[in-house]
């Protein structure tokens, strides 16, 4: 169950454990303040690390082999208990390690900054810990907070797990929220090009949302709603998707469910299509939010279909998705007794930017039908195709879907309209039973009535969307994309040029030596230390280290500032690499 | 686990099964159209019903006794599987029953309307089925939908369970949403006095929300938020609660988490405080939404502390909550191996309207502390106390909380400000660890940025709240409450007069003969048939049949129309009771 086909840092206790141990590192502020290197402590730490890693691997192997032989459900419980105990033990060991580091630091001893496998900030209840670790005057008593996380008197086991996962996954995000770059007010703040946020048309959107039709209030908007979404909004969504997805027949508002964000739609689909421990196939690299959402409530596993960057006879373009690869991953998963219920597709793809051809789509859907797999297809970037030679095909546009009752489309306004703050996500499915089951969760995932009204008015205004918004948006996407790709070309950085989405998938492996996920993380940290947030390939469950996703859908001035920081970090990194290679050469 | 301390219709498969079978009945439109009574079919049906009931009881007993002897977790799984199979079997039997009824009706045969224990509408995927059963030309092919629900090819087991639970719980609500009473446009629509909705000040609220300060838009409101809630809103919430809860020291915005509704707050608290199968104590009668929320995601059990209406030496007023009663329920639950993690309190109470004295509160909290129980206290009606001789005491006002790290307060604007459509719920807890864990779920329970802005402006406007809103609101509450209580007094209906909340808890047992939950449901159905929705005691997990909650926080004209329907139903019911008694007398 815990094989290689697992998403990074977003799945299970055992994983997050090995993760924790793979990223242990001192806060950079302190490291820089201390020049001394103590080889003895370093070696001692490395030994402890290796021992811990071996313990985990042994236990993982034991659990995995036992797992295959026995009843899945019962085993999962023993597994969970065993990993809990392991986690408590490891937590204490880590606490001791931190203490050791701390005492070393207090005693005037330092560790070399590039010490591999040392960074705790990405895990272990990152939130408070990470924050404090960024302060130069990091107080000792923070350590007791760290220890406390492993022996919480107040939280349930799942509460501790979820909290730890959230704070590790959203650590950069939360830092950014508290210290955002602003061109006038906070020029030293964090620039976040790790988040897929469209800030290209905030001017247009603010103007449109300020018009008088938006500020309508009626009693129904203030009262308990239809939990599927207000009928007027579902009707408008059906009309909107019919038009922009080029659907042969008018879509039915009864098949629409509206929730507070696409992640809520995905999470509820996972609840009603899978039982705990069952799985979805997902091509990787892929949006990590699905993995996070799957952990919060549904406890659905993601089985990765690993794609390769290398071009071969079987892989005509980098990271090509083929039915063969999906079939292989499916059959391997089945061999381990895993129940695979569906396939997750993103079109246009995130982070690759691929827009699937009609033929490819057809093949993927036929494959899913053959194996009775649900297809959850996320088309959230459908209006964000800016290369005029590329045509987006929605599955809703297909004359006859191979398996309409198992095809479920997700869309929202966060990306295409750049209003992620509205918290708006749509499910369209021909399967009334699924729509009905998902709507049960509307009670806990509802949207404000006034926001529903505004969204309805926005989607209704075709004139504005077609004549004002979309032409401007796409032209700005082109310009920003052009700026960013030129910069990358100038640096000789390879990247995918796919003409859709808000981001570019680029390869920075030339800056990593050795090319490992540890080094990828260290480079990521280096960006962070320079107040630039990117997202690294590992969080997209990419199997090859060195890939990063960089968002370009922002204002020119901000992009310029960001690329300045970007360039600075890569220069530093290159200097370090040269130094390292020289040292190695001297040693030989 | 399935003992008497279980909430009605909101917990387990086995329960909803017995429920289903207890409420089988033909649609009234058809019944009324057919005057013939066929005693043979009736007897045959009754026999089948009795057999089914015995089967369920036998199985329940078997499961319960096995349960006590064995490991809890493992047993739960077998139990779940067994009940699944039972449910499938029962589903098919019910389908056959419906077919039989249908063929009888089609063949011109009728059944007497008051046939006890016959009503399918409250369960079995109520949504679609219930709707179609309300149409006079109810088509036969609807039956296949019913059958299909028991052998879904597309939903997971939990998906089926949750969908069935939702559609049975929200059936009346969904009917109401599609056919609401309107004084001009739809005078034949449903009047819903079952929902606790405050419609007394929609005029004031609409006016306030239409003012220019509300329609402010800035970039941050349109973008991804702080998942705990936007800082400006959390700060305002802290100030607001400090002021209205009379808190000795200023509350800390870092202890505030803002989600899309109080049910989301409760659901996430249940996730982070309990592991699946663990339990909360809750006095009953109590708001049923907690039971529903607990089933959607957290799978937390509610252990009922049953309160009595009868006044005795130990029960100084009807439904008095005492520490003794809580302690007894706790110890009984522990004897069965149940892990009780917390206590849920609602103050002012729903549906009773009780406002806890400072001393009572202190006792409840001391009790919780003694047993290391978390206390989730829902103060959502805190500003809806309209009797000027009654003072509300928030737990936040207490000089020293017995166990501050285990005391968690829920509040929102749905009731006090009558804007349930905003989907806004607040958690305040001194326990930073709990706040932090709950905020992990903000990703799936966020509120629109523009709604957060409006809520902030609203809470900020103390001048308007204190001088305009609250005086008007409370005076209107008094008037509406006065009108309603006079009507009830005139009818000789006993009720609780507690001076808070939007509803009255009344006793209609004089209209039930025998006084059973089946008869309570039939009376409820009779109200529904007359387009009046009330909520019956069973949905508040009340152990005594005959209690109903009626909301009075609506416009005078609507209340008048509602009470007209109410009176009509009770007159009919009384007529039927007299007829029944006469028939019984003749037989003897």
Yes or no: say if B348 and B382 are a contact pair by the CB < 8 Å rule: yes
**Which ipTM score applies to this complex?**
0.79
Asked if the model's pLDDT at residue B140 lies above 60, the reply is no
Yes or no: say if A359 and A367 are a contact pair by the CB < 8 Å rule: no
Nearest to A278 by CA among A302, A305, A304: A302
A357 secondary structure, DSSP code: -
Q: How far is CA A34 from CA A38, A110, A149, A525, B100, in A?
A: 11, 5, 28, 18, 85
3-state secondary structure of A303: strand
Question: Which residues 6+ apart lie within 8 Å of B442 measured at CB?
Answer: B225, B226, B227, B228, B229, B257, B258, B259
Region B233-241: mean pLDDT is 98
How many Å apart are CA A164 and CA A126, to the nearest integer?
A: 7
Tokens of A347: 């079109």
Instruction: Please answer yes or no on whether B219 and A199 come within 8 Å at the CB atom.
Output: yes
Domain A216-460 has CATH 1.10.3720.10: no
How many Å apart are CA A33 and CA A14, to the nearest integer?
A: 34
For the segment B32-82, what is each residue's pLDDT rounded down to a tens digit? 334 334 444 444 454 555 555 555 555 555 454 444 444 454 445 555 555
Yes or no: say if B302 and B341 are a contact pair by the CB < 8 Å rule: no
Provide the shortest C-alpha distance from residue B125 to chain A (in Å): 10
Q: In Å, how far from its chain's centre is CA A30? A: 30
Mutation for B interface: A421, A438, A455, most B CBs within 10 A: A421
How many Å apart are CA A431 and CA A374, to the nearest integer?
A: 11
- DSSP letters, B415-432, are TTSS-GGG--EEEEES-H
Interface of A with B in 412-431 (CB under 8 A): 418-424, 431
How many Å apart are CA A200 and CA A205, to the nearest integer?
A: 10
Instruction: Please answer yes or no on whether B219 and A206 come within 8 Å at the CB atom.
Output: yes
With tokens 């649609």, the residue in question is: B27
3-state secondary structure A191-221: EECCCCCCCCCHHHHHHHHCCHHHHCCCHHH
> Helix %, strand %, coil % for chain A, to 5?
55, 10, 35
How many Å apart are CA A554 and CA A546, to the nearest integer?
A: 24
For the segment B15-36, what is each residue's pLDDT rounded down to a tens digit? 333 333 222 333 333 333 343 3
Do the domains A216-460 and A191-199+465-587 match in fold? Answer: no
Across the interface, of A152, A166, A433, the residue whose CB is closest to B155 is A433
Across the interface, of B74, B160, B419, the residue whose CB is closest to A222 is B419
Q: How far is CA A564 from CA A567, A570, B23, B292, in A?
A: 5, 10, 71, 53
Kindly list the domain boundaries of chain B, sorted by start residue.
13-169, 191-199+465-587, 204-460
How many Å apart are CA B169 and CA B538, to the nearest integer?
A: 12
How many Å apart are CA B132 and CA B126, to the nearest integer?
A: 10
How many Å apart are CA A534 and CA B578, to the nearest integer?
A: 77
Burial A572-585 (b: 16+ CB within 10 A, else e): ebeebeeeeeeeee
Yes or no: say if A421 and B113 are a contact pair by the CB < 8 Å rule: no
How many residue pairs bridge chain A and chain B with CB atoms within 8 Å of each other? 263
Q: Return the CATH fold of B204-460.
A: 3.40.640
Say what the pLDDT of residue A588 is: 79
3-state secondary structure of A551: strand
Radius of gyration, alpha carbons of chain B: 24
Region B327-348: mean pLDDT is 98
List chain A residues with CB under 8 Å of B77: 73-74
Question: Which residues 6+ apart lie within 8 Å of A192 measured at CB?
Answer: A172, A173, A176, A180, A181, A533, A551
Interface of A with B in 472-511 (CB under 8 A): none
Pick the CATH number of B191-199+465-587 from 3.40.50.300, 3.90.1150.10, 3.20.20.140, 3.40.50.720: 3.90.1150.10
How many Å apart are CA B188 and CA B178, to the nearest integer?
A: 12
Nearest to A476 by CA among A205, A211, A261, A287: A205
List chain B residues with CB under 8 Å of A205: 222
pLDDT band at B560 (very low <50, low <70, confident <90, very high): very high
Residues of chain A with pLDDT under 70: 1-151
How many Å apart are CA B493 and CA B508, to the nearest integer?
A: 7
CA nearest to B174 within chain A: A226
Asked if the model's pLDDT at residue B375 lies above 80, the reply is yes
Instruction: Please answer yes or no on whether B437 and A215 come within 8 Å at the CB atom.
Output: no
Say what the pLDDT of residue A6 is: 36
For the segment A51-74, what is each residue's pLDDT rounded down to a tens digit? 555 555 555 555 554 444 444 544
How many Å apart are CA B109 and CA B104, to the nearest integer?
A: 5
List chain B residues with CB under 8 Å of A415: none
For the segment B405-432, what is each residue's pLDDT rounded down to a tens digit? 999 999 999 999 999 999 999 999 999 9
Say what the pLDDT of residue B151 is: 55
Q: In Å, how far from its chain's centre is CA B76? A: 26
A43 secondary structure, DSSP code: H
Provide the shortest C-alpha distance from residue A346 to chain B (in Å): 19
Length of chain A: 588
Interface of B with A in 247-276 (CB under 8 A): 260-261, 263-264, 267, 271-276
Say what the pLDDT of residue A566 is: 98
The count of other CB atoms within 10 Å of the CB of residue A48 is 17
Say what the pLDDT of residue B314 is: 84
Yes or no: say if A511 and A568 are a contact pair by the CB < 8 Å rule: no
Nearest to B342 by CA among B397, B436, B414, B410: B410
How many Å apart are CA A529 and CA A29, to the nearest integer?
A: 9
Tokens of A134: 């960024």
Question: Which residues 6+ apart lie within 8 Å of B185 measured at CB?
Answer: none
How many Å apart are CA A273 and CA B46, to the nearest integer?
A: 37
How many Å apart are CA A555 and CA A577, to the nearest integer?
A: 32
3-state secondary structure of B547: strand
Across the interface, of A148, A162, A448, the residue whose CB is closest to B437 is A162
Yes or no: say if B235 and B226 are a contact pair by the CB < 8 Å rule: no
Tokens of A217: 């209030």
Tell me the HSE value of A303 on the side-chain side, using a 13 A CA sphere.
25
């Amino acid at each position: 169950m815990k094989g290689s086909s697992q998403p990074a840092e977003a799945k299970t206790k055992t994983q997050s454990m090995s993760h924790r141990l793979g990223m242990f590192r001192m806060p950079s502020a302190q490291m820089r303040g201390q020049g001394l290197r103590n080889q003895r402590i370093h070696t001692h730490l490395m030994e402890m690390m290796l021992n811990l890693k071996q313990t985990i691997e042994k236990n993982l192997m034991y659990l995995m082999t036992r797992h295959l032989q026995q009843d899945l459900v019962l085993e999962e419980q023993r597994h969970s208990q065993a990993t809990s105990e392991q986690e408590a033990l490891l937590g204490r060991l880590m606490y001791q390690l931190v203490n050791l580091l701390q005492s070393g630091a207090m005693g005037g001893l330092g560790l070399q900054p590039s010490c591999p496998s040392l960074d705790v900030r990405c895990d272990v209840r990152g939130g408070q810990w990470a924050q404090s670790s960024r302060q130069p005057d990091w107080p000792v008593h923070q350590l007791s907070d760290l220890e406390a996380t492993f022996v919480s008197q107040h939280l349930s086991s799942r509460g501790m797990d979820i909290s730890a996962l959230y704070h590790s996954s959203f650590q950069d995000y939360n830092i950014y929220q508290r210290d955002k770059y602003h061109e006038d007010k906070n020029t030293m703040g964090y620039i976040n090009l790790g988040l897929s946020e469209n800030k290209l048309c905030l001017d247009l959107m603010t103007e449109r949302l300020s018009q008088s039709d938006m500020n309508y209030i009626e009693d129904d908007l203030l009262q308990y709603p239809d939990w599927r979404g207000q009928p007027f909004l579902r009707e408008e969504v059906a009309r909107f998707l019919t038009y922009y997805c080029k659907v042969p027949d008018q879509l039915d508002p009864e098949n629409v469910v509206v929730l507070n964000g696409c992640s809520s739609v995905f999470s509820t689909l996972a609840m009603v299509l899978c039982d705990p421990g069952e799985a979805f196939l997902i091509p990787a690299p892929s949006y990590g939010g699905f993995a996070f959402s799957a952990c919060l409530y549904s406890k659905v596993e993601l089985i990765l279909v690993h794609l390769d960057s290398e071009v071969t006879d079987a892989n005509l373009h980098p990271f090509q998705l083929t039915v063969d690869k999906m079939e292989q991953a499916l059959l391997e998963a089945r061999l381990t007794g895993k129940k695979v219920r569906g396939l997750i597709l993103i079109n246009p793809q995130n982070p690759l930017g691929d827009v699937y051809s009609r033929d490819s789509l057809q093949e993927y859907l036929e494959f899913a039908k053959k194996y009775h797999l649900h297809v959850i297809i996320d088309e959230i970037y459908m209006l964000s195709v800016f290369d005029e030679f590329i045509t987006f095909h929605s599955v809703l546009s297909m004359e006859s879907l191979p398996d309409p009752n198992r095809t479920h489309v997700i869309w929202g306004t966060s990306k295409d309209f750049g209003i992620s703050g509205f918290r708006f996500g749509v499910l369209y499915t021909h399967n009334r039973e699924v729509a009905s089951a998902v709507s049960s969760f509307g009670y806990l995932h509802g949207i404000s009535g006034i926001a529903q009204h505004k969204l309805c008015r926005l989607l209704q205004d075709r004139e504005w969307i077609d004549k004002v918004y979309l032409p401007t948006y796409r032209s700005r996407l082109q310009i920003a994309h052009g700026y960013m790709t030129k910069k990358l070309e100038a640096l000789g950085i390879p990247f995918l040029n796919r003409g859709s989405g808000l981001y570019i998938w680029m390869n920075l492996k030339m800056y990593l030596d050795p090319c490992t996920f540890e080094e990828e993380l260290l480079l990521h940290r280096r960006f962070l230390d320079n107040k630039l947030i990117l997202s690294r390939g590992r969080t997209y469950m990419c199997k090859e280290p060195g890939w990063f996703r960089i968002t370009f859908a922002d204002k020119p001035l901000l992009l310029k500032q960001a690329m300045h920081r970007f360039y600075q970090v890569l220069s530093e990194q290159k200097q370090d690499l040269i130094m390292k290679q020289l040292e190695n050469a001297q040693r030989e």
